[in-house]
Structure 1
Amino acid sequence: MRQPRRDTRGIVDPAELLRQVRFRRLAPAAALAELVEHYWFIDWDLDRPFEQHVVGHPAVNLVVFRPTADDPVTAEVSGVATELFSIKLAERGWVRGVQFRPGAFPAFSGRSPAELTGRRVPLAQVLPVADPGDRLVAATTDAAAAAVLDDLLLGLRPAPGESGRLAMRLVERVRQDRALRRVEDLAGEAGISARSLQRLFTRYVGIGPKQVILRYRVHEAIEQARGEVDWAAVAAELGYSDQAHLVREVTAAIGMPPAAYAASLH
């Protein structure tokens, strides 16, 4: 079975996150591996509030959470984020999440994730499933919680279709290959026009191919900031026209220039 990825791409301060909470990823059932990136679970018991920031992947998430022990369990679907996601955690609580592969969500819902982009919507408004909150509260182990999510998703009988699979493959190409920097190059590889590629990504991913390329470039820049960095070299490697262009995009994504971000980590 394919194991969940172990990188921390997109998490603005992963070291601090891991100091404050218990975070882990779990693989879905084998029948879901084509469509679900992983399950992600977070538990916390904090003496003081902690705020976490994430530059999200171009993916839809199903999120079930209990902010504190006194709060009800809430289930929602979160579309592709269009800005830095921030959440403040306090007291004792938990989250159980499903990260769908970019391009996979229509296989479960029959709807385009473009309807959800930049939004968080109650689960009942998006997927025809029973609220899994009570079952997740009763799940005393990670394996039991993962089984609840497996049952929920398998019950939807997902069917990706040829176009959905193409979208998933193309997003994965962008994620894995830094040399893919232009929409036209990605469209050429797929054997379709740039306009057709735009329609494909909007329908299945929720944002356009240019935005996907940018998101993964920012992820890579953030990742490299955790070591010794030659920002001019990073800009050239990631296909920016100059260092100033990289600085503008990273600053827009995380709220500070990359050099200041790197300094904050060290």
Structure 2
Amino acid sequence: MERNSRSTHVFELNGRTALITGAGQGVGAGIACTLAGQGAQVVVNDIDPARADGTVRRVRDAGGQAHAVAFDVTDLGAVADAVRTFERRIAPVDILVNNVGNAGAGAFRPTSFRDTDPADWRRFTEVNLFGVMNCVKAVIDGMAARRHGRIVTIASGSGVIGQGIGVSLYAAAKGGAISFMRHLAIENASDGITANTIALGLIDPAASGREATRTRELAAHLPVGRIGVPEDAGALCAYLASQEASWITGQTFHLNGGSYTS
């Protein structure tokens, strides 16, 4: 069959605006670049304005459309103000990718639950669960009014399966986000909004030196023989954000090179 010469994208996102949180680096930056490559206008969020600007330059250098918007996803007021201002000045948000998520704050240090400090528990839910809810709250009414919306949350395989590696607090927050997305999908399906989750496995945004050696060791244990890269997450996001995925909602996709299948 002859390919339509007018189509340049597999999953067409022309005319759509996508907000990607935590897109100043790593997986978020990869998602932003991929969605822009499919024709979307991307809104690059990061708590660090300089990182957001860096991703915007990458997108624009590749011929895409991008804007930087700095805010902290744990601050509902700041999220709402930023989204309201952007939508008034530029365009409504059609696609939300909740990518922000870490081990609470600062460096990731696996710790057994028995050794955790209760004073630290809240940090995990504020970023990985409340941050998702805050961003959804800011965009969902507009999506419902327009009867179209795509919400994708980047979670973790640890939110689904037990792993004895000291990530119980992180996993609890990610598991909450996964459950939230399932219910969000059902509540809003009749308004043309889909809500899905990507449970990421091992992703290596840019390993070098000793990290590269460790990456090769880890890759040897994966069925596909390699660690994931940000563009892998971007490709799945592009599909879930597209019209072709309009019948897919409330699902959790395990993106992990075959290390876990449900």
Q: TM-score scaled to structure 2, two decimals? A: 0.31
Larger Rg: 1
Q: TM-score scaled to structure 1, two decimals? A: 0.31
